Structure 1
Amino acid sequence: MLGTRGVPAAHGGFETAVENIGLDLVDRGWRVVVYCQDDEPGAELRTDSWKGIDRVHVPARHDGPRGTIEFDLGAVRHAAREAVLDGSVCVTFGYNTGVLNSVLRSRGVPNIVNMDGIEWKRARWSGPEKAFLWTQERAACWLGDHLIADHPEIARHLETRVRAEKITTIAYGAPTIIDAPERAVLEHGLEPGSYLTLVARPVPENSILEVVRAFSSRRWGRQLVVLGSYDREDPYQRAVLDAASDEVVFLGAIYETDIVSALRFHSVAYVHGHQVGGTNPSLVEALGCGNPVIAHDNRYNRWVAAAAALYFSDEAGVVTALEQLFSSPDLADALSRAARARHSAEFTWGQITDQYEELVRAHLPSVVEPVER
């Protein structure tokens, strides 16, 4: 498994997917190898094992994009050598260095590429950055043996690049949370059942400013809890901070999964303002907690949340959704039940692993039985 910073997960959705899918496959008898980025000065390539997953630690001696390219190149070269020897399949997450898939292709190593979202369309990138990402997407589409789309709309986009038979739609998973300790909530000065959560990168395409303005337009007797790092040096993030009433609470970035799950579980609802992308991990995790959802109205969110959400397209729509939710306990209960039903039907990690396992089996270079452990 290539393309992420490795396991255990500490950096985002792809790492969480690799951890959950990898551990599930190990339990099913597979040998799983995950490539991990090592940023320590003077680090050398090394291997170890974590919960049954074989890890290959590849040094990255530089920061930022240069370090990422250095890591990806080292990882793909090592994986190509090893996969040729033992008849493995590579699963690459992301396409930001898509051209490097040529190393695997040149060695005849089967490579399944999870294409993530339409990254080059995101507003935060400059013109040259968008051009680079567009090129890498094209390269990954051509060089990968098979593509994974995490959402039907992403699959439709990829069909403009390759034939439909080369694409399989596999979404993102999340655990089913049926209970969580209140301590993490209380320690952050919150009262269970008296706040909403919002978890998103603070960029314009995630509608955070619109949500905060709408929530701050009146008194609700509840709080909006916003997770993520905010810096007044950034104009957009400063605008969000300045728009917030005293009922909006900024907790900063929290990476401990148990704490985030507890905050979600004990919240009145989850607010999801993402306007672009495929299946968003944060939205799926909210469904796994049984959260009623207030979501931006677009085709991505509609497919994921379905009947579990109230939808908005502007600030007035956020206010309307809040009014409906707070005034009707029956509606909140119905949305919560719909969230659990949607999660159970589509987004459990067991279901996601089933689909990855089937795809990997189909691309094994020969009939290889899972390693007995």
Structure 2
Amino acid sequence: MRHVFIIGSRGLPAKYGGFETFVEELVKNRQSQDLTYHVACLSETDHHKHFTYLNVDCFTIKAPKLGPARVIAYDMMAISYALKLIKAQNIAAPIFYVLGNTIGAFMAPFAKKIKKAGGRFYINPDGLEWRRSKWSRPVQSYLKYAEKCMTKTADLVISDNIGIEDYIKQTYPWSKTAFIAYGTDLTPSGLDEKATKVQDFYEQWTLKSKGYYLIVGRFVPENNYETAIREFMASASKRDLVIICNHEGNAYFEELQQKTGFNKDARVKFVGTVYDRALLTYIREHAFAYIHGHEVGGTNPGLLEALAHTDLNLVLGVDFNRSVARDAACYWTKDTGSLAHLIEQVDGQTDFSAYGQKAKDIICSHYTWEKIVGEYEDLFLHES
């Protein structure tokens, strides 16, 4: 039996973003009975409490609220507790899979303890976190340093995008690396236009099928909301721009409004968040096109979901995105007029089924959870 300790996500059940969804899908789609998973779960109330979810040993860590440093404390406390469990339960050859680089500068002594316990330490760098504009320059400098430290202590650096793996290889040539993609689900929404939740949503925002462009993602500057909104507003499209994100109470929303004046364009509709999975999938299925502006990170889950469910995808042409969408998308740059011109090129067309089929073929061949989980299990059971 191989024991795998997963550190760095907020835990199970998944309620948040990419890492949490990854962990849930990894354990939900388990294929081998020779693996036991232990997952650290960030808690506001409980400390060192165990519970079982999807046959996984979940343990809570109540980390102190230290601002951005809280995630470092959380990881350190989770690893320390996991090492105690390993000793108490006499677990042989454990694997520690740490999601994210943040603990990097403090990882060396923990890596030594893991190796002393006969274990191995794997890291997923989560894209280029240090490039995110939400961080101040000192924090960006720390994250870059943490990234370097992690590569020096890890037995293996696992990237979910080939572009990230290439970056790690080139920047830190001493690293041993592996590429295992992120996954997604091709299951249709199962809804039709008569479903109450569909009717309510479309009536609330005065929308119609194929009558809107769609953006879904974290509401942060590096996802290029400003460029996408400005370019859409510059186009002559009669369709709407539906933006699904956590904009409420976010200072960036006011900043964007000042910079773009989107509040004066009735086509631009911030609709908040949509947590109903089936409804969100239906909204994707019936969008005229999806606009993807992410430029920092690896394989973005939102792009995979768009390829799985939306025929026409207008994608920022950075290496990370091109390596995923390939020839199943239309690409734009951040140059003024690029996206607006692309919107006007496609806006009068009606049939993008060829793009949609290419996109679904890419997902089926490379990004199903069955394939991704199989690759992880093979690594956990056989990598040495």
Q: TM-score, normalised by structure 1?
A: 0.89
Does residue 251 of the first structure (1) align with residue 271 of the second (2)?
yes
Q: Against the structure 1 CA distance between its residues 81 and 95, is the aligned structure 2 distance closer, same or farther, given a 3 Å change threshold?
A: same
Query: Residues 338, 324 of structure 1: CA spacing in aligned structure 2 closer, same or farther, 3 A cutoff?
Result: farther
Aligned residues: 361
Q: Of 225, 231, 237, which aligns to 2:256?
A: 237
**Displacement of 1:279:** 1.1
- Give the TM-score normalised by structure 2: 0.87
1:9 is aligned, of 3, 6, 14, to 14
Larger deviation, residues 10-19 vs 57-66? 57-66
| CA distance 1:350–1:232, shift in 2 (3 Å) | closer
Secondary structure of residue in 2 paired with 1:60 = coil
Aligned to 2:141: 131
- Partner in structure 1 of residue 3 of structure 2: none
- How far apart, in 2, do the equivalents of 1:303 and 1:107 lie? 34
User: C-alpha distance in 2, partners of 1:51/1:39?
Assistant: 22
CA root-mean-square deviation: 2.3
Matches within 5 A, 1:335-346: 335-346=355-366
Work out the CA distance in 2 between the residues paired with 1:80 and 1:268.
51
Question: In the alignment, is residue 90 of structure 1 matched against residue 96 of structure 2?
Answer: yes
What is the SS of the residue equivalent to 2:234?
A: coil
AA matched with 2:36: R
Contact 2:9 2:41 survives alignment (8 Å): yes
Q: Give the aligned partner of residue 166 of structure 1.
A: 176
Identity across aligned pairs (percent)?
A: 27
What is the DSSP-based 3-state SS (H/G/I as helix, E as strand, rest coil) of the residue aligned with 1:198?
strand
1:59-138 to 2 correspondences below 5 Å: 59-62=62-65, 64-83=67-86, 85-87=90-92, 88-102=94-108, 103-108=110-115, 109-138=119-148
Give the 4+ runs in structure 1 shifted more than 6 A: none
Displacement of 1:214 in angstroms is 2.0
Tell me which moved more, 257-266 or 9-18: 257-266
Q: 1:149-298 counterparts in 2 under 5 A?
A: 149-163=159-173, 166-182=176-192, 183=195, 184-189=197-202, 190-230=207-247, 231=249, 233-234=251-252, 236-239=255-258, 242-243=261-262, 245-298=265-318
Instruction: Measure the CA separation in 2 of the matches of 1:340 and 1:111.
Output: 34
Pairwise CA distance, 1:213: 1.8
The answer to whether residue 381 in structure 2 is matched with residue 322 in structure 1 is: no
Asked if 1:352 is matched to 2:372, the reply is: yes
Give 1:76 deviation, angstroms. Answer: 0.6
39, 44, 47: which one aligns with 2:47: 44
Q: Deviation per CA, 1:236-271: give whole Å up to 9, x if none.
A: 433466235211111113344333223212222211
SS at match of 2:178: strand
Quote the residue 2:324 is aligned against: 304
Report the Cα distance in structure 2 between the residues aligned to 1:267 and 1:58, rounded to whole angstroms. Answer: 41
CA distance in 2, matches of 1:203, 1:290: 23
Aligned counterparts of 1:107 and 1:237: Cα–Cα separation in 2: 46
- Aligned residue type for 1:11: Y
Deviations, residues 91-134 of structure 1 (Å, cap 9, x unaligned): 11111112343314323121111111111122332111011101
- Partners of 1:101 and 1:144 within 8 A in 2: no
Q: CA deviation at 1:161?
A: 4.3
Q: Secondary structure at the match of 2:25?
A: helix
Structure 2, unmatched stretches of 5+, are 1-5
For residue 316 of structure 2, what is the amino acid of its counterpart?
H
2:347 alignment partner, SS class: helix
The worse-fitting range, judged by mean Cα deviation, of 232-241 and 71-80 is 232-241
CA distance in 2, matches of 1:99, 1:351: 33
Structure 1, gaps ≥5 residues long: 365-373
Residue 69 of structure 1: CA displacement?
2.5
Specify the code of the residue in structure 2 equivalent to 1:291: D
Give distance in 2, aligned partners of 1:249 and 1:29. 49
